[in-house]
Amino acid sequence: MRYLDRLQPLALLVMRLTLGAVMTVHGFHKVFGGLHHHAEFVASLGLPAWTAYLSSFAEFFGGLLVLLGLFTRVAALAICIDLSVAIAKVHIHNGLTGNNGYEFPLALATLAFALIFFGGGPIAFDHIRAPGGGGGKPR
């Protein structure tokens, strides 16, 4: 089964694309049209209303960065924190499964958590941007 190790870059790419696409789409309607409503909702949870802006931008712009594989670890950290707060404040009382349960946010947070530690992989702009990441001359 060691031959599967060669496919790890593809696995990281699929993880990034999945998390990035879902978070970008999820954050899009908040950033472009629903920011005021999201701020009211966040305030109703007992959190400061300004954290809704952090949440929305972490979802949308963090999702875009993860999609591109640019600043992947930082964007994944922001997404992981955002989803952890969402689970704790919104979804936890609905249980793991069922209507508005925390199974889906937990799965996304797990993808983000893994990307914090593994990074975007070799098929990402981070790999090109980083020293020795394939963008420079061989030594």
Q: What does each of the 139 residues of the chain score in pLDDT, given as a tens digit?
A: 888 999 999 999 999 999 999 999 999 999 998 899 999 999 999 999 999 999 999 999 999 999 999 999 999 999 999 999 999 999 999 999 988 899 999 999 999 999 999 999 999 998 888 765 444 444 4
User: Is residue 74 in a domain?
Assistant: yes
Question: Terminus-to-terminus CA distance in the chain, angstroms?
Answer: 32
Reported pTM:
0.89
> What pLDDT, on the 0 to 100 scale, is given for residue 135?
46
DSSP 8-class letter at 90: I
135 assigned to some structural domain:
no
* pLDDT in the model for residue 136: 47
* Residue 37 domain-assigned (yes or no): yes
Domain count, the chain: 1
Please, which residues have CB within 8 angstroms of residue 137's CB and are 6 or more apart in sequence? none
Q: Which domain holds residue 124?
A: 10-128
Is position 5 within any domain? no
**CB-based contact 127:120 (threshold 8 Å):** yes
For position 132, what pLDDT does the model report? Answer: 55
Residue 1 lies in a domain: no
